[in-house]
Amino acid sequence: MMEQIYLTIALAPLVGAIFAGFFGSLLGRMATTVITIAGVLISTVLSFYVFNHHVLEGGEVFNQNLYTWMQIGELNVSVGFLIDNLTAIMLVVVSFVSLMVHIYTIGYMHDDAGYTKFFSYISLFTFSMFMLVMSNNFMQLFFGWEAVGLVSYLLIGFWHHKESAVEANLKAFLVNRVGDFGFLLGIALVLMYFGSLDYVEVFASLGNVTGVTMLDGISVITVICILLFIGAMGKSAQVPLHVWLPGSMEGPTPISALIHAATMVTAGIFMVSRMSPMFELSETALIVVMVVGAITALFMGLLGIVQNDIKKVVAYSTLSQLGYMTVALGVSAYSVAIFHLMTHAFFKALLFLAAGSVIVALHHKQDIREMGGLRKKMPITYWTSLVGTLALIGFPGFAGFYSKDMIIEAVHFSQLPFSDWVYVAVVIGVFITAFYSLRMFFLVFHGESRMDEHTASHVKESSISITLPLVALAIPSALIGYLTIDPMLFNGWLDNAITVAANHTSMASLEANFHGANGMIPHALQTLPFWMMVGGIASAWVLTLYRSQWADWIQKKFHRSNYVLESLYGFDRFNDIVFVGGIKKLGNFLWKVSDSGLIDKILVNGSARFVGFIASMVRPIQTGYVYHYAFFMIVSLLIILTWVLFAGDNPLLEL
């Protein structure tokens, strides 16, 4: 029975995507909407059932191959499912957020000509993510990995009449291919050294590879883990493979929420957590993961300060929060990373959908400097945005508070090299997050209206298809952290999916100092991160509402720093000059040397000239007279006979 349930969860969105994609124009908008939402709804309901069975009731882990794709010697490549507590939690998060996005799409894409196509794409996106999280082998994992990348390309460039959207989806596609190349090399090394692609078989054989080295003494496990993490850097947008994520804002807002909250960007975090038995054997790999995450958390958060596009502010907050998750992975706090992934999925989807609600109300204006005073006109959007914002900044009691506080504490207890510096980075990040989040919130909803009269006169609360998902996501954004922190981190929810080495003591120290969800709130009031958050809130209020002219003075005073931030640290410029420009120059060189010089001039034209030369030599003997041809035949025969007689092994010459 359970096998059929797992299959239904995976295939229900695919069926909806097929119907919407191939028959959407025939079925019409209403039927397409019903079919696709019904598919995701079925998956959501069954995902909660699976969560109850595996997590709450302690059901046995399901690991079974369903279909053999190919058999090469002893290598069996199959389609199979691994359903443990980690998978069950991911299924609930992905399906619920996807369902909310599907419902939200009804109102947001109502007037779009590609309505049915969009529903097909987001359902296909959901199916791809399900295949990724449910896989029990590296090959299926890679299939889901590439599938989410492909569909993200279609969705980011959905409005393909916009040149900026085409550039954004191309950037996303190419940058992810860089990460995926490393990921594929890691999988190849797994197959090379373990002889299998099945998770369980590989993890069981780790002892056979421990101590094996390559590349002048580097541990095989270290190389594999770093290569796999490069794939995660692409999908989960870690520096320097982060450049695609802000550009993904060119897609419609519903897909921004789906990409940034529960699907594509969480794939890397999930993958590293799934591979915890491997990463725990390489301290070097863990240090790399931790440092990369800290750099992303701090420096991408700084970029959020100078953004004025409402969606890009939220996008850079995603980059920063993904950095926090990656830091947690690096200090072996995998359960904390998944915990933050879950809380972040709810409040980040909420913030994106709230931003979309504002964009729809303002007729697709996205500059927060041209908003203001929306609190009274859009009360549902306002209060749900407030919940999402407080969860994002880690305000005590909200979901993000519990997960982010645990990450910071885990870093504090870590014994890894550079963990002290990482701790400083994540604490500073708390101030930055609070500042840019409340800056956006105040500029959008508070103060005097900065909209033109025509826009201001038409502003109203969004339709129920938009506000209903906001309310539904606001509830877990407020409560899910309080309800799940204890069982998820310390009471075994993830024990059957995650491995932590005995010498990595962050989680043990966290448990020893944990005094319950209720006890965290009064304790937080005495900690540095809390007061950094308060400082960020106060700074945002002063510079946006109380003394907004001070912000202009600071911007002019520190214009060089502002230039660095507005230029996004020069990553795009560097990529354009070095990689794009370099590839263009290389292509031009190869065109001139290889195509034009070698192929055209030598092979094609050269062969033609050679044939012409031979023809010119032979042409004079083609007279048309029979006696001329007979003469040449006799001469040729004499030459052949002379060669045979004197050059060959002729016994007559030996006499």
Mean pLDDT of 550-568: 80
Mean pLDDT of 278-295: 92
| Calculated CA dihedral for residues 216, 222, 228, 229, nearest 10 degrees | -110
Q: Are 51 and 85 contacting, i.e. CB atoms less than 8 angstroms apart?
A: no
Q: Which residue has the higher pLDDT, 327 or 650?
A: 327
DSSP conformation class of 461: P
| Letter string b/e over residues 267-302, b meaning 16 or more CB atoms within 10 A of that residue's CB | bbbbbbbbbbbbbbbbbebbbbbbbbbbbbbbbbbb
pLDDT-based confidence at residue 325 (cuts at 50, 70, 90): very high
The single-letter code of the amino acid at 161 is H
Cα 429 to Cα 540: distance, rounded to the nearest angstrom = 15
Model confidence pLDDT, tens digit, residues 509-537 = 888 888 888 888 888 888 898 999 999 99
pLDDT of 649 reads 60
Cα 187 to Cα 171: distance, rounded to the nearest angstrom = 24
Model confidence pLDDT, tens digit, residues 577-614 = 888 788 888 888 888 887 777 887 788 888 888 888 88
Identify which of 189, 230, 179, 180 has the alpha carbon closest to the alpha carbon of residue 209: 189
Cα 329 to Cα 270: distance, rounded to the nearest angstrom = 10
pLDDT-based confidence at residue 650 (cuts at 50, 70, 90): low
Cα 199 to Cα 418: distance, rounded to the nearest angstrom = 31
Model confidence pLDDT, tens digit, residues 241-269 = 888 888 888 888 888 888 888 778 888 99
Cα 311 to Cα 318: distance, rounded to the nearest angstrom = 11
Alpha carbons within 13 angstroms on the beta-carbon side of residue 230 total 17
Cα 88 to Cα 93: distance, rounded to the nearest angstrom = 9
pLDDT of 393 reads 92
Cα 114 to Cα 110: distance, rounded to the nearest angstrom = 9
Residue 475 has pLDDT above 80, yes or no: yes
The H-assigned helical ranges of 394-459 are 399-413, 419-445, 453-458
pLDDT-based confidence at residue 648 (cuts at 50, 70, 90): low
Cα 560 to Cα 564: distance, rounded to the nearest angstrom = 6
pLDDT-based confidence at residue 109 (cuts at 50, 70, 90): confident
- Tokens describing residue 37: 């939402």
Mean pLDDT of 371-395: 90
Cα 433 to Cα 403: distance, rounded to the nearest angstrom = 15
Identify which of 527, 295, 519, 270 has the alpha carbon closest to the alpha carbon of residue 412: 527
pLDDT of 506 reads 87
Give Cβ neighbours of residue 9 (< 8 Å, ≥ 6 apart): 42, 43, 46, 47, 50, 91, 95, 130, 134
- The residues pairing with 198 across neighbouring beta strands, listed in sequence order, are 137
DSSP codes joined into one string, 67-135: EEEEEETTEEEEEEEEESHHHHHHHHHHHHHHHHHHHHHHHHTTT-TTHHHHHHHHHHHHHHHHHHHHB
Q: Is 391 exposed, middle or buried (0-12, 13-18, 19+ CB in 10 A)?
A: buried
Cα 375 to Cα 381: distance, rounded to the nearest angstrom = 8
Q: Are 554 and 561 contacting, i.e. CB atoms less than 8 angstroms apart?
A: no
Residue 494 has pLDDT above 90, yes or no: no
The single-letter code of the amino acid at 472 is A
pLDDT-based confidence at residue 377 (cuts at 50, 70, 90): confident
Cα 474 to Cα 479: distance, rounded to the nearest angstrom = 9
Query: Quick one: what percent of the chain has pLDDT higher than 90?
Result: 35
Identify which of 301, 147, 180, 316 has the alpha carbon closest to the alpha carbon of residue 248: 316
- Tokens describing residue 251: 């897609």
Identify which of 285, 291, 354 has the alpha carbon closest to the alpha carbon of residue 317: 354
Q: Are 107 and 463 contacting, i.e. CB atoms less than 8 angstroms apart?
A: yes
Q: Are 406 and 365 contacting, i.e. CB atoms less than 8 angstroms apart?
A: no
Q: What is the mean pLDDT of the chain?
A: 87
pLDDT-based confidence at residue 347 (cuts at 50, 70, 90): very high
Query: Quick one: what percent of the chain has pLDDT higher than 70?
Result: 98
Q: Are strands 62-72 and 213-214 parallel, antiparallel or unpaired?
A: unpaired
Cα 275 to Cα 216: distance, rounded to the nearest angstrom = 25
- The residues pairing with 77 across neighbouring beta strands, listed in sequence order, are 70
Least confident piece of the model among 187-191, 439-443, 593-597: 593-597
- The residues pairing with 219 across neighbouring beta strands, listed in sequence order, are 213
